[in-house]
Chain A
Amino acid sequence: MKQLILDTLVTGMPLVTSVIGIWMIFRLREDFDLTVDASFATGGAVTAALLVKGSGVVPAMLVAIAACGAMGLMTAGLHLLLRVPVLLAGVAMSIGFYSVDLAIMGTPSVSLADGGTLFSGFANLSPDQADLATIGVLSAFVLTVLVGLGLFLRTEIGLALRASGVNARMARSQGVNVRVLLCFSLVVANGLAGLSGCLVVQSDGFADVNMGTGTLIAGIGAVLLGELILRPTGSKLLRTMLALLVGALAYRFILVGALRLGLPATDLQAVTALTLVTAIAAERYGRPLLSLLRRRITTIGPPSRAPRAAAGTGGQ
Chain B
Amino acid sequence: MLTLDDVRLTYNGGTSAEVRALRGVTLTIPAGEFVTVVGSNGAGKSSLIKLVAGEERPTSGRVELDGRDVTRLPVHRRARDVARVFDDPRAGSLPELSIEDNLALALSRGQRRRLRFAVGGERRALMRERLAVLGLGLERRLADPVGLLSAGQRQSLTMVMAGLRDPRVLLLDEHLAALDPGTQRRVLELTTAMVRRLGCATVMVTHNMEHAIDVGDRLLVMSRGELIADFSGERKAALSVEALVETIASAGDAVSDRMVLREEAAPAGAGR
* A155 CA to B82 CA, complexed, in Å: 23
How far in angstroms is the closest Cβ of chain B from A153?
A: 9
Q: Which of A159, A167, A172, A177 contacts B93 (CB 8 A)?
A: A167
Query: Quick one: closest B residue to A154, CB to CB?
Result: B117
- When the two chains form their complex, are residues B118 and A235 in contact, meaning their CB atoms are under 8 A apart? no
Given the known interface contacts A234-B96, A235-B101, A235-B143, the answer about A175 and B110 at a Cβ–Cβ threshold of 8 Å is yes
* A181 CA to B100 CA, complexed, in Å: 21
A163 lies within 8 A of chain B by Cβ: yes
- When the two chains form their complex, are residues B93 and A174 in contact, meaning their CB atoms are under 8 A apart? no
* A171 CA to B117 CA, complexed, in Å: 18
Cβ contacts under 8 Å, B91 to chain A: 167, 169-170
A-contacting residues, B30-51, CB 8 Å: none
Query: Quick one: closest B residue to A171, CB to CB?
Result: B105
- When the two chains form their complex, are residues A155 and B94 in contact, meaning their CB atoms are under 8 A apart? no
Cβ contacts under 8 Å, B92 to chain A: 170, 173
Q: Which of A156, A170, A176 contacts B116 (CB 8 A)?
A: A156
Given the known interface contacts A175-B111, A235-B98, the answer about A159 and B118 at a Cβ–Cβ threshold of 8 Å is yes
Query: Quick one: closest A residue to B84, CB to CB?
Result: A173
- When the two chains form their complex, are residues B95 and A166 in contact, meaning their CB atoms are under 8 A apart? yes
- When the two chains form their complex, are residues B94 and A234 in contact, meaning their CB atoms are under 8 A apart? yes
Cβ contacts under 8 Å, B109 to chain A: 174-175
- When the two chains form their complex, are residues B114 and A163 in contact, meaning their CB atoms are under 8 A apart? no
- When the two chains form their complex, are residues B96 and A175 in contact, meaning their CB atoms are under 8 A apart? no
Give a binary string over B124-160; 1 marks a CB under 8 Å from any A CB, 0 the rest: 0000000000000000000101000000000000000
Query: Quick one: closest B residue to A178, CB to CB?
Result: B76
A233 lies within 8 A of chain B by Cβ: yes
Cβ contacts under 8 Å, B94 to chain A: 162-163, 166-167, 170, 234
Cβ contacts under 8 Å, A286 to chain B: none
Cβ contacts under 8 Å, B74 to chain A: 172
B115 lies within 8 A of chain A by Cβ: yes
- When the two chains form their complex, are residues A152 and B76 in contact, meaning their CB atoms are under 8 A apart? no
* A270 CA to B108 CA, complexed, in Å: 47
Give a binary string over A91-105; 1 marks a CB under 8 Å from any B CB, 0 the rest: 000000000000000
A158 lies within 8 A of chain B by Cβ: yes
Given the known interface contacts A171-B105, A175-B80, the answer about A166 and B114 at a Cβ–Cβ threshold of 8 Å is no
A160 lies within 8 A of chain B by Cβ: yes
Give a binary string over B67-100; 1 marks a CB under 8 Å from any A CB, 0 the rest: 0000000111101101010100001111111101
Interface extent on B, as a size class? 35 or more
- When the two chains form their complex, are residues A172 and B76 in contact, meaning their CB atoms are under 8 A apart? yes
How far in angstroms is the closest Cβ of chain A from B89?
A: 11
Cβ contacts under 8 Å, B95 to chain A: 166, 234
* A176 CA to B94 CA, complexed, in Å: 14
Cβ contacts under 8 Å, A160 to chain B: 105, 108, 113
Give a binary string over A178-194; 1 marks a CB under 8 Å from any B CB, 0 the rest: 10000000000000000
* A160 CA to B112 CA, complexed, in Å: 11
How far in angstroms is the closest Cβ of chain A from B56?
A: 13
B29 lies within 8 A of chain A by Cβ: no
A157 lies within 8 A of chain B by Cβ: yes
- When the two chains form their complex, are residues A156 and B118 in contact, meaning their CB atoms are under 8 A apart? yes
* A173 CA to B50 CA, complexed, in Å: 11
How far in angstroms is the closest Cβ of chain A from B70?
A: 13
- When the two chains form their complex, are residues B118 and A172 in contact, meaning their CB atoms are under 8 A apart? no
* A155 CA to B105 CA, complexed, in Å: 10
Cβ contacts under 8 Å, A172 to chain B: 74-76, 79
How far in angstroms is the closest Cβ of chain B from A149?
A: 13
Query: Quick one: closest B residue to A152, CB to CB?
Result: B115
The interface centre, meaning the residue of A167, A177, A235 with most chain B CB atoms within 10 A of its CB, is A235
The interface centre, meaning the residue of B98, B105, B108, B145 with most chain A CB atoms within 10 A of its CB, is B105
- When the two chains form their complex, are residues B75 and A173 in contact, meaning their CB atoms are under 8 A apart? yes
A-contacting residues, B194-232, CB 8 Å: none
- When the two chains form their complex, are residues A177 and B96 in contact, meaning their CB atoms are under 8 A apart? no
How far in angstroms is the closest Cβ of chain A from B25?
A: 22
How far in angstroms is the closest Cβ of chain A from B210?
A: 28
* A152 CA to B109 CA, complexed, in Å: 19
How far in angstroms is the closest Cβ of chain B from A155?
A: 5
* A103 CA to B143 CA, complexed, in Å: 52
Q: Which 3 A-B pairs have the closest CB atoms?
A: A175-B79, A234-B96, A235-B98
A-B contacts, 5 of them at CB < 8 A, read A160-B108, A173-B75, A174-B79, A175-B111, A234-B98
Known: A234-B94, A234-B145. 14 other contacts (CB 8 A): A155-B118, A156-B117, A157-B113, A163-B94, A172-B75, A172-B79, A173-B82, A173-B84, A174-B106, A175-B76, A175-B109, A176-B79, A233-B96, A233-B145
